[in-house]
Amino acid sequence: MTRKNFSGTGVAIVTPFRKDGSLDFTSLGKLLEYIIKGGVDYVVPLGTTGESVVLTKDEKKAVVCFVTDTVAGRIPVVVGIGGNNTQEVLDSVSGFDFSGIDGLLSVSPYYNKPSQQGIYAHFKAVAGISPVPVIIYNVPGRTGSNIAAETTVKLAHDIKNIVAIKEASGNFAQMMQIMMHKPKDFEVLSGDDLLTLPMMALGATGVISVVANACPADFSNMVNQALKGDFVKAGVLHYKLTDLINALFEEGSPAGIKAVLESLNICQNHLRLPLVPVNDGLRKKLQGMILDKN
């Protein structure tokens, strides 16, 4: 069943690899069971955290098929499909099997720095071909361009199939403009774990999280408390995780979260080039921090 509400805690799941670089489905299954047990609301394979850009087309299909089979309808699944070649993205979406998929997360085109008109036209085309609701993803630190608040609001009003934005600009003035002028049912989701609580205080309804791979219970509890308006309880959980979240991103993502997941015996600490594992000092620091949380 198609889900149009993406409030709560979504998890941008990692893609576990074996030492030889092959996909590790045993560990992926372990991760999915761990985070579902932790009370998260939905999972997002094939995002940045899932190293989607270094997966082959067949590997992407295999990962999504495994995720939907393992989740088996217990929680929604949102798949990441994006890029900076609009026609290639359209071909990928039109050729994708959306069985068991509840939403599409699509990152704003990167590297070629389109104008706001180009960004609007890109997402209009993607939403027009997607059989499931679309969450647009604004992450200027990775894409090299920003989706302006005016563009987000115009997309939200003009295109019914665009239902949410994963907003990771870090620009609170921009976020507030979106929240002030968006349609009532359009959702603003945090794309930054550390900013989730203050964003929710301003009107965001959830997050697509990295740290929830490792701390699903605490992080989803924080989000749920914020959704209920109890920012005192939410604040306690926020500060419990703040140092860990900061450390996770010292050498980029998903290197940090994979080091933590290895400490939790969920998956091995292997990445595909050009990404490499965190240095030994940071690995030990993260290991000590996650053991303190559990």
Q: Model confidence over 26-47: pLDDT tens digits?
A: 999 999 999 999 999 999 999 9
ω into residue 274 within 30 of 0, thus cis? yes
- CA 29/CA 63 separation, integer angstroms: 10
Coil vs helix vs strand at 81: coil
Using the predicted structure, report yes or no on whether residue 11 has a pLDDT greater than 80.
Answer: yes
On whether the CB atoms of residues 76 and 65 are closer than 8 A, the answer is no
Torsion angles phi and psi, residue 110, rounded to 5: -105, 165
Q: For residue 3, what pLDDT is reported?
A: 45
Residue range 255-271: mean pLDDT, rounded: 97
Q: Is 166 assigned a catalytic role?
A: yes
d(CA 207, CA 223): 8
Between the alpha carbon of residue 284 and those of residues 17, 246, 281, 290, the distances in Å are 21, 15, 5, 10
Please tell me whether the overall predicted TM-score, pTM, comes out greater than 0.85 for this model. yes
Looking at residue 294, its pLDDT comes to 65
Of 166, 182, 258, 285, which residue is the catalytic one? Answer: 166
Q: Name the band, by pLDDT with cuts 50, 70 and 90, for residue 5.
A: confident
Q: Report DSSP state, residue 198.
A: H
CATH 3.40.50.1240 fits 8-228, yes or no: no
| Cα–Cα distance, 128 to 146 (Å, whole number) | 22
Rounded mean pLDDT of the chain? 96
Go through 134-164 and write b for each residue having 16 or more CB atoms within 10 A of its CB, e for each that does not: bbbbbbbeebebbbbbebbbbbbeebebbbb
Q: What is the mean pLDDT of residues 204-224?
A: 98
CA separation for the pair 266, 244 (Å, rounded): 18
Q: Which amino acid is at 151?
A: T
CB neighbourhood size of 104 (10 A): 27
Q: How many residues does the chain have?
A: 294
Contact residues for 235 (Cβ-Cβ < 8 A; gap 6+): 197
Mean pLDDT value across residues 13-33: 98
Q: Which residues of 196-235 are buried (b: 16+ CB within 10 A; e: fewer)?
A: bbbbbeeebbbbbbbbbbbbbbbbbbbbbbbbeeebeebe
Asked whether residue 2 carries a pLDDT value surpassing 70, the answer given is no
Best CA proximity match to 244, nearest among 191, 194, 192: 194
Residue 1 has pLDDT above 60, yes or no: no
Point out the catalytic residue in the list 30, 60, 120, 137: 137
Which two tokens mark 221?
A: 């509890």
Q: Which residues pair with 93 in a beta bridge?
A: none
Q: Which residue's structure tokens are 């394979």?
A: 45
SS3 100: coil
Q: 112 CB contacts (<8 Å, ≥6 apart)? A: 84
Distance CA 57, CA 41 (A): 27
60 belongs to the catalytic site: no
| pLDDT tens, residue by residue, 112-171 | 999 999 999 999 999 999 999 999 999 999 999 999 999 999 999 999 999 999 999 999
Percent of the chain with pLDDT over 70: 98
